[in-house]
Amino acid sequence: MLITSIPQFIQGLTNAKLDLISTNATVLYTAPSTSDFNVSIVNSILVSNYTTGADTITVTITDATSDATVFSLFKLKAVAANTTVELLTRDLILKSGEILTATAATADTIEVVASIQEFIKQRISTSAVL
């Protein structure tokens, strides 16, 4: 995805990984919030249930504004036993400072991996100074 009105460059590519060992909301990824940061694009959120019982997952995004409003992306999404599901059908855009969290209904049954591209507004020079 490219926003043509803003020059942007890939700063990094990452896989945010999380083993949900408790039933508390756990931060999966926080979008960088530097002055040069532009946006993060979440291309994939894979959820794996590695147990013999079905479970559910809730995924939320927390707004980076001062009121920190929480929005539900997936509420009690079913994940069958011993399966992996892809939650996204399209890319998810995260603005500077937004937080992606995940919560499993049952502790120690679910793992989550999100593939993410981070974009910056200007190219960072990688040339070495001699």
Q: What is the mean pLDDT of the chain?
A: 87
Position 116 scores a pLDDT of: 96
Query: 12-70 pLDDT, tens per residue?
Result: 789 999 999 999 999 999 998 876 777 899 999 999 999 999 999 999 999 887 788 99
Position 130 scores a pLDDT of: 47
Cβ atoms 31, 40 nearer than 8 A: yes
Query: What is the full DSSP assignment across 30-78?
Result: E----TTEEEEEEEEEEEEE-SSS-EEEEEEEE-SSTT--EEEEEEEEE
In the chain, the domains with their CATH numbers are 9-120 (2.60.120.1330)
Q: Cβ neighbours of residue 32 under 8 Å, at least 6 residues apart?
A: 11, 40, 96, 118
